[in-house]
């Protein structure tokens, strides 16, 4: 029989482990993913409703209906020109998704290339690429956005490219650490001995290893891209004035903050929903990978 | 330690050089002739040529880069095209507000994150931990400017209350600063809190299972004492690292938040400069901020070394290891032959 005191210590230890150990990681991951999908489903559903079932036009002005509070006809109320905020907000969704998607695409491809080189070849290549990443990271994304707008003018492409470049380091970091982990493994050494080129090893053998990690980085990058784009548009430096963007709506709404708080709140809440949804999905994917 | 310092210094200088190259290249990419853009549509060719010479645009690229770098290093990066005064004068007037705001927000992050991390790590996976995690994650998803708008609505504060009446270069007392900048700083701090809390919490949870904690417990130290004196100190390194990582975002955040509250800081200046296509001004402000971020990260690294001697040991070990590797390989070769 075990010593009683020792047994109690073991029980205590088990108890502590029960307190500390995270719950089943797969279940946590699933929960995170489902939460994210639900959060993303809300804007998408609202978008479908707004485009197909609500009779208002996003640009239709109606001076007699200025600053209506949210009601059964204008669900999110109306703005200073009497435009329906619900329809306007939803009309801004595709552009937001497009810019964030483009940003992630540029950042992801750039990051894959640079991070891959740094992680696979290491040494001097790694050193120079890492310093380059440090340099990019030291300029706040919003400033690069402003820089590009200053140089190339307002526009959807300028914003997407500027943000895409700024997102390279974050992807490069993920790819680099993944490649570094694998490059000294036996199977990679064997491939090298068999005469596989670096390119072949990277694309066919190393890339699949980091695919899931990259997916989670993409989800989180998507969220951050939405944040960055809305910040730029909020400053009036993002998308051109003719297109509808949530950041720009918030900028316009700021002048009527106390007169019509709903004008600012709804676009803002939608940004948060979308970003939070992408965050949850990113975290869920990260947990699955572990 | 000295070797480490030198290596770090070299890296930092190299990074700074790269930053200046990147910023320079973007400006060199200006489509068309920037002198023409600045001069306006109806400018005579003479005027364009004059502006070109003024900006040094008639010189080849490498010379332009050296001039530009020289200007930055000697503290004379040029004239503002819009305001027609030296760029540095404008920046000196505007910088205190932005830096004050960023510093205040930074301080607030520390003030909020440490208690939150301590509370969350008391019972990992418990209700309090989960609530703190969800709340900080949510605040991370709220863009700083929307956070500011929500705070303005909550506290019934208007733009005029904060910075509306302020003009650039005004001298403010510390009290004024505190009163004016609290809400803006809170908006920035709240939206950047999550990462620091998470790093600190994870470190605290991990550290509380180490042997020295058990020993301290065995010696009868109180839980409070163990956490505040022993564990927290060892968790400073990841926390400081996280703080360094969010610094760029905090400065970026200040620039946006200034626009929300109409504060006449660097953000406003940069905004005006971008609108007016005042290239020297834009270039200098961006360089200034990037240099600041790089330098602070350098300090963060040194600070970590200073706080946690273990990092130093690991560093020197890995270096020695690397140094010895070729010798070991050579010895093996010798043995084989």
Full set of structural domains in chain A with CATH: 25-60+73-289 (1.10.3720.10)
Whether B196 and B242 have beta carbons less than 8 Å apart is answered as yes
Nearest CA in chain B to A271: B142
**Chain A interface, mutation test: which of B102, B135, B143, B278, most A Cβ atoms within 10 Å?**
B143
Out of A254, A264, A272, closest to residue B142 by CB: A272
Read off the pTM. 0.79
Collapsing DSSP states into helix, strand and coil, what is residue A180? Answer: helix
Collapsing DSSP states into helix, strand and coil, what is residue B129? Answer: helix
Nearest CA in chain B to A127: B11
Rounded Cα distance between A153 and B35, Å, is 16
List the helix and strand counts (H, then E) for chain B.
Answer: 16, 0
| Residue B323 sits at the chain A interface (C-beta within 8 Å) | no
The size of chain B, in residues, is 337
Whether A149 sits inside 8 A of B274 (CB atoms) is yes
| Residue A12 sits at the chain B interface (C-beta within 8 Å) | no
CA distances from A54 to A23, A48, A160 (A): 44, 10, 30
User: What do you get for the CA distance between the two ends of chain B, in Å?
Assistant: 39
CA distances from B245 to A167, B101, B237 (A): 15, 18, 12
Output the CA angle A265-A271-A277, nearest 5 degrees.
130
Whether B271 sits inside 8 A of A131 (CB atoms) is no
* List of chain B residues whose C-beta atoms are within 8 Å of the C-beta of residue A138: 15, 19, 248, 290-291, 293-294, 297
Smallest CA–CA distance, residue A222 to chain B, in Å, is: 12
Q: Which residues contact B246 (CB under 8 A, 6 or more apart)?
A: B109, B192, B195, B196
| Residue A207 sits at the chain B interface (C-beta within 8 Å) | no
Rounded Cα distance between B113 and B108, Å, is 8
| Residue A122 sits at the chain B interface (C-beta within 8 Å) | no
| Residue A61 sits at the chain B interface (C-beta within 8 Å) | no
The ranges assigned to domains in chain B are 2-73, 92-314
pLDDT, one tens digit for every residue, chain B (337 residues): 677 788 888 888 888 888 888 888 877 776 666 666 666 666 677 777 777 776 666 667 777 777 777 777 776 767 666 677 777 777 777 777 888 888 888 888 888 888 888 888 777 777 888 888 888 888 888 888 888 888 888 887 776 666 655 554 555 666 666 777 788 888 888 888 888 888 888 888 888 777 887 888 888 777 777 777 778 877 887 788 888 878 878 888 888 888 888 778 788 888 888 777 777 788 888 888 888 888 888 888 788 777 776 666 544 444 444 443 444 444 444 444 3
Q: Count A/B contacts: CB-CB distance under 8 Å.
A: 150
Whether B290 sits inside 8 A of A139 (CB atoms) is yes
Rounded Cα distance between A94 and A92, Å, is 6
- Tell whether domain B92-314 is in CATH 3.40.50.880: no
Closest CA to A275 of A241, A231, A240, A242: A231
Rounded Cα distance between B186 and B212, Å, is 37
A104's tokens: 């992630």
* List of chain A residues whose C-beta atoms are within 8 Å of the C-beta of residue B124: 19-20, 22
């Amino acid at each position: 029989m075990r010593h009683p005191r020792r047994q109690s210590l073991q029980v205590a230890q088990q108890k502590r482990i029960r307190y500390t150990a995270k719950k089943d990681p797969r279940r946590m991951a699933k929960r995170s993913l489902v939460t994210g999908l639900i959060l993303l489903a809300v804007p998408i559903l609202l978008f479908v409703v707004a485009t197909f079932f609500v009779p208002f036009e996003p640009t239709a002005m109606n001076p007699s209906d200025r600053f209506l509070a949210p009601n059964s006809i204008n669900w999110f109320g109306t703005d200073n020109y009497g435009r329906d905020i619900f329809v306007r907000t939803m009309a801004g969704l595709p552009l937001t998704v497009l810019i964030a998607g483009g940003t992630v695409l540029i950042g992801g491809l750039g990051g894959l290339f640079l991070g891959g080189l740094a992680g696979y070849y290491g040494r001097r290549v790694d050193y120079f690429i890492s310093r380059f990443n440090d340099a990019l990271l030291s300029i706040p994304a919003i400033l690069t956005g402003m820089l590009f707008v200053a140089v190339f003018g307002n526009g959807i492409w300028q914003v997407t490219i500027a943000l895409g470049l700024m997102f390279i380091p974050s992807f490069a970091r993920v790819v680099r650490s993944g490649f570094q982990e694998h490059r000294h493994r036996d199977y990679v050494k064997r491939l090298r001995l068999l005469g596989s080129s670096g390119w072949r090893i990277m694309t066919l053998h190393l890339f699949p290893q980091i695919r899931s990690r990259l997916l989670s980085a993409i989800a989180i990058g998507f969220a951050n891209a939405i944040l960055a784009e809305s910040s730029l548009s909020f400053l009036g430096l993002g998308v051109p004035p003719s297109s509808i963007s949530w950041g720009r709506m918030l900028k316009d709404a700021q002048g009527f903050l106390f007169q019509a708080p709903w004008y600012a709140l709804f676009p803002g809440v939608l940004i948060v929903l979308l970003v939070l949804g992408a965050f949850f999905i990113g975290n869920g994917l990260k947990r699955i990978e572990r | 330690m000295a070797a480490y310092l030198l290596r770090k210094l070299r890296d930092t200088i190299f990074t700074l050089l790269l930053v200046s190259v990147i910023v320079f290249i973007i400006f060199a990419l200006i489509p068309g002739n920037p002198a023409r853009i600045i001069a306006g549509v109806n400018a005579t060719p003479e005027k364009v040529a004059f502006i070109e010479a003024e900006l040094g645009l008639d010189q080849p690229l490498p010379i332009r880069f050296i001039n530009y770098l020289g200007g930055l290093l000697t503290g004379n990066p040029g004239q503002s095209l819009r305001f027609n005064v030296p760029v540095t004068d404008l920046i000196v007037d505007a910088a205190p507000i932005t830096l004050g705001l960023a510093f205040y927000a930074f301080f607030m992050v520390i003030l909020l994150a440490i208690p939150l991390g301590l509370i969350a790590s008391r019972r990992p996976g418990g209700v309090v931990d989960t609530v703190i995690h969800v709340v900080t994650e949510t605040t991370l998803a709220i863009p700083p400017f929307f956070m500011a708008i929500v705070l303005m609505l909550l506290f019934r504060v208007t733009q005029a209350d904060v910075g509306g009446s302020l003009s650039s270069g005004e001298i403010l007392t510390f009290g004024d600063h505190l009163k004016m900048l609290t809400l803006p700083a809170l908006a920035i701090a709240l939206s950047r809190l999550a990462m620091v809390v998470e790093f600190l919490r994870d470190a605290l949870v991990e550290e509380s299972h180490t042997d020295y904690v058990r020993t301290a417990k065995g010696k009868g130290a109180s839980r409070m004492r163990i956490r505040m004196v022993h564990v927290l100190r060892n968790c400073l390194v990841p926390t400081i690292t996280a703080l360094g990582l969010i610094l760029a975002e905090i400065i970026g955040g200040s620039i946006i938040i200034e626009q929300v509250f109409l504060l006449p800081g660097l953000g406003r200046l940069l905004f005006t400069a971008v609108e007016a296509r005042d290239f020297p001004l834009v270039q200098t402000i961006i360089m200034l901020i990037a240099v600041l971020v790089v330098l602070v990260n350098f300090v963060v690294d040194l600070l970590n070394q200073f706080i946690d001697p273990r990092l130093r040991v690991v560093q020197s070990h890995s270096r020695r290891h690397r140094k010895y590797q070729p010798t070991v390989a050579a010895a093996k070769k010798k043995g084989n032959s």
